[in-house]
Amino acid sequence: MTIHEELTGELSGEGDGGAGPDRRKRSGKRRNRIVLVAALVMILVPVVAIGTYLAYLNHVVTDNIKQELLLPAPNPPTDAQGDAIPQPAGTGTNYLLIGNDARPGDTGSRSDVMVLVHVPEDRATVQLIHFPRDLWVPIPGHREAKLNAAYAFGGAPLLVQTMQNMLGVDIDHVAVIGFEGFKRMTDAVGGVEVNVAEPSTSDGYRFTTGTMHMDGDMALAFVRERKQLSEGDISRGQRQQAFIKALMLKTLSKDVLLNPAKLATFVDAATSNLTVDQKLDVGQMRSQALAMRNLRGSDIHFITAPFTGFGWSKDGQSIDVTDWPKMKQLGEAIRTDTMNSYN
């Protein structure tokens, strides 16, 4: 099964009913799988495109992608006693994908999507691990807080440091994607057909239950709404998954991939919204993606970072309770490149 076929097969399951923590736990793995596939496709599509329109699109990608100081200063992951955890050589590469919903001029924004991508040394498979933003964890230099608060406190470097200590693994590279760029990507492919599970009105748009065609502005209003939805942020997360699936399916369609103008416009929109760490250049991205170009659905493994359930912090916040014994097992599997044995 190809990535396109896997996404298509999932489309009919979007927007099923139910509410509350139990439903979150039951359906979370399936929803997370969709956003992780979409994240991988976001990296692969521009690279595949370069193979078709090499000279022009290579120029676009090189000019568009920004590099920033997203990695912390050399600071190895440490255990609970503060001792450095040795990192074996030749055990693959770890990428942290961060999605944030900062509006122009926003400061201190939190990350809405955090995905750790582990590419084994043989590059024959890939593991994508979704970290719920409400995981309750210790943040270096701060007290315990929700995981996405690390991004608000200290940007990508502090989030990286927090996750390195949480897992006991080095994170090699970081990529940040802003939600505003999805508007341009949506318009670049001529709009998308999105399944609306719950009605609402936002920014002058009226969303009704069923499938709706959305342009970029409408899609952005759709994925940002939460106050009118039955489960707030949970329902908003479901909307984001529905939109991302629709965008990826449209992008992978023949209507886009075989249309030079649409594809070039999409690549420009996707890469102009991408910021990577100071050590990751376009050549490395292209080399890694091309090495993974033959991956099929069965080669891509999806995991949700372990948590035991839902609870409340001492200061009254609704949180996801981290399963620390299983988190330690996950970290060891990543660190030793033995994710195939993790369960």
Is residue 11 predicted with pLDDT exceeding 90?
no
Hey, what long-range contacts does 237-242 have (CB within 8 A, 24 or more apart)? Answer: 237/31, 238/14, 238/15, 238/31, 238/197, 239/197, 240/35, 240/112, 240/113, 241/14, 241/31, 241/34, 241/35, 242/14, 242/15, 242/194, 242/195, 242/196, 242/197
Specify the range with the lowest mean pLDDT, choosing from 161-175, 231-245, 299-313: 231-245
Pairwise CA distance, residues 4 & 296, whole Å: 9
**175-232: pLDDT as tens digits:** 888 777 788 889 999 999 999 999 999 999 999 999 999 999 999 999 888 789 987 6
Residue 283 CB neighbour total at 10 angstroms = 9
**316-337: pLDDT as tens digits:** 998 889 999 999 999 999 999 9
Mean pLDDT of the chain: 78
112 close to 130: Cβ distance less than 8 angstroms: no
304 close to 129: Cβ distance less than 8 angstroms: yes
Task: Say which amino acid occupies 137.
Answer: V
* pLDDT at res. 301: 75
Pairwise CA distance, residues 273 & 166, whole Å: 29
In this prediction, residues 26-43 reach a mean pLDDT of: 45
If pLDDT is split at 50, 70 and 90, which confidence band does 2 have?
Answer: very low
308 close to 122: Cβ distance less than 8 angstroms: no
Pairwise CA distance, residues 18 & 203, whole Å: 27
Domains and CATH numbers, the chain: 3-341 (3.40.630.190)
